[in-house]
Amino acid sequence: MPFSSLLFVHAFLPAFLVLYWLTPRSLKNHTAIFGSLVFYAWGAPRFLPVVLGLGAIDYILSHQIAARSPGRSRRTLLVLGVALHLSILVYFKYSNFFVDEMNGLLTSLGFSTVGWTKVVLPIGVSFITFEEITYLVDVYRGDAKPANRISHYLLFLTLFPHSIAGPIFRWKDLQAQLVDRPHGSYLVEGFERFSLGLAKKVLVADTLAIPADLAFLATADQLTPAVAWIGAIAYTLQIYFDFSGYSDMAIGLGKMLGFTFKENFNQPYVSASLTEFWSRWHISLSNWLRDYLYIPLGGNRLGRRRAIINLFIVFTLSGLWHGPAWTFVAWGAFHGGFVASERLLGARRDRIPLALQHIVTLGLVVVGWVLFRATSLGHAGTMLGAMIGISDPNAVAPIPADFAPRYALVALAFGVLATVWAIFRKYRPASGDLRWAFLARLGYVALLVASVVHLTNMRSTPLIYFKF
């Protein structure tokens, strides 16, 4: 049940909010759990018992870890817990990929293939797995105490604003709010943030999906340089407005329930380096990879050479986390290689004109998104080749009205202008003006109305990160 669906906006959300606000304060967590379980069961009913079962195991393991003194037995419990969650993730997310690759190798060698029934990927499995691991690791490190009640931990795992596609929560960041939080004071702010996110997803991202999809589905006789560039830029903007819009909706929904979630995006396309980009893009994932993978690998404590290797490993695994495909691995390695290069250059990068740094960074990000969106490495090569003029000289672009209708071009222009303006404001911050507060609130209402009208007349595109 996507947030950007009429079912959610017209039925689930109003019904849940009425029930939640009518519930006494002492029982609001139970209402939130009930609503979250209904929400999750709507999209992945078969996986819900697994989530609940793993939650119960985590609760028991965390208390066993906290009760033991530092030593081998305590570390063994942590390893068992992490291995359990990773095995679940590998089975559901990567088993099809591994079997397909093995069958391809067996076929090339002349052997018979292995029979296999495809495993259906449950929504949100990657995000839930990461949160379960952070819970056990933080308890082991002493950074957080285990949950006093299993209901608190289950709400942490299943809370519907974030359970499907993040942001990735840490138990220590939400633990106190599960016990006590303000109710009612953030309702208007939450509504405004949700309306903004819904508009970004429905009005911009879903519209940009039209030229992006058609460009990436174009045949060789249609893939002109212009088509390739429009498609690459459209997808670059689509994935940002799509995922940041979802994060805005999640944060807004959390505020309606009294929760304060950390930001997940901070205008990533204003970055002047890929290192800065990753401090602004999917912040919860970047921080997770830093704290639970990069630092345990040694971080930069073991010298520059080891730090470079660790960076490359982390980014490559980040690519694999996004999906079981070589394009994702290549995307992660691509970013890892350039972030490592920036680390090697160090202060010498300051000699490069700032405007050129922005241009190069945006260009690299666009190239990376082509790898991310392509269906195969060969497809990515074809798209990138067309972008630099290596394409069929007789290629003829699709009819403009079919490829990029006017409203899609308007969305594309808006995305480009928003990116350029954000870079400008990075160096010339705009001062706030309270006189516009009332008009701004009317604007949020208008955005919500426009989004709902759009949903009524157009099909919503599934959230890109649902499949991760």
Q: Which of 370, 329, 330 is nearest to 235 (CA)?
A: 370
Please state, in angstroms and as integers, the Cα–Cα distance from residue 34 to each residue in 20, 30, 159, following that order. Answer: 10, 6, 10
Which of the 8 DSSP states describes residue 264? -
Whether 63 is catalytic is no
Per-residue pLDDT at 435 exceeds 60: no
Looking at residue 120, what is its pLDDT? 78
Residues 6+ positions from 387 with CB-CB distance below 8 Å: 225, 228, 229, 232, 370
Per-residue pLDDT at 166 exceeds 60: yes
Rounded CA separation 336/319 (Å): 10
Q: How confident is the model at residue 439 (pLDDT cuts 50, 70, 90)?
A: low
Per-residue pLDDT at 436 exceeds 60: no
Per-residue pLDDT at 464 exceeds 80: no
Q: How confident is the model at residue 185 (pLDDT cuts 50, 70, 90)?
A: low
Instruction: Quickly tell me which residue has 């290069």 as its tokens.
Output: 341
Rounded CA separation 35/19 (Å): 9
Distance of CA 192 to the CA centre of its chain: 21
The pLDDT > 90 percentage for the chain reads 41
Please state, in angstroms and as integers, the Cα–Cα distance from residue 65 to each residue in 58, 101, 139, 175, following that order. Answer: 10, 38, 7, 18
Rounded CA separation 67/381 (Å): 54
Q: Which of 142, 139, 150, 180 is nearest to 54 (CA)?
A: 150
Rounded CA separation 375/379 (Å): 6
Looking at residue 369, what is its pLDDT? 97
Looking at residue 467, what is its pLDDT? 65
Residue range 188-200, pLDDT digits in tens: 889 889 988 998 9
Q: How confident is the model at residue 445 (pLDDT cuts 50, 70, 90)?
A: confident
Q: Which of 207, 197, 209 is nearest to 247 (CA)?
A: 197
For residue 321, the tally of other CB atoms under 10 A from its CB is 20
Rounded CA separation 221/395 (Å): 4
Rounded CA separation 334/341 (Å): 11
Q: Give the mean pLDDT of 62-87.
A: 90
Which of the 8 DSSP states describes residue 145? P
Range of lowest pLDDT (54-63, 204-213, 253-262, 433-442) = 433-442
Q: Which of 458, 398, 431, 78 is nearest to 213 (CA)?
A: 398
For residue 446, the tally of other CB atoms under 10 A from its CB is 12
209 compared with 406, residue with greater pLDDT? 209
Q: Give the mean pLDDT of 130-138.
A: 93
Per-residue pLDDT at 441 exceeds 90: no
Q: What do you get for the CA distance between the two ends of the chain, in Å?
A: 16
pTM: 0.89
Residue range 377-391, pLDDT digits in tens: 999 999 999 999 887
> Which of 162, 322, 335, 454 is flagged as catalytic?
322
Looking at residue 458, what is its pLDDT? 67
Two tokens at 17?
């909010």
Average pLDDT value for the chain? 86
Helices (H), ranges, 23-71: 28-43, 48-67
Residues 6+ positions from 278 with CB-CB distance below 8 Å: 286, 335, 339
Rounded CA separation 206/333 (Å): 28
Rounded CA separation 242/238 (Å): 6
Per-residue pLDDT at 403 exceeds 70: no
Per-residue pLDDT at 433 exceeds 80: no
Per-residue pLDDT at 17 exceeds 70: yes
Q: Which of 28, 8, 310 is nearest to 164 (CA)?
A: 8
What DSSP string runs through 293-362?
IITTTTTTTT-HHHHHHHHHHHHHHHHHHH-SSHHHHHHHHHHHHHHHHHHHHGGGGGGS-HHHHHHHHH
Looking at residue 30, what is its pLDDT? 93
Residues 6+ positions from 222 with CB-CB distance below 8 Å: 395, 396, 397, 398
Burial 393-431 (b: 16+ CB within 10 A, else e): eebebbeeeebbeeebbebbebbeebbeeebeeeeeeee
Per-residue pLDDT at 257 exceeds 80: yes
Per-residue pLDDT at 465 exceeds 80: no
**Are 85 and 316 within 8 A, CB to CB?**
no
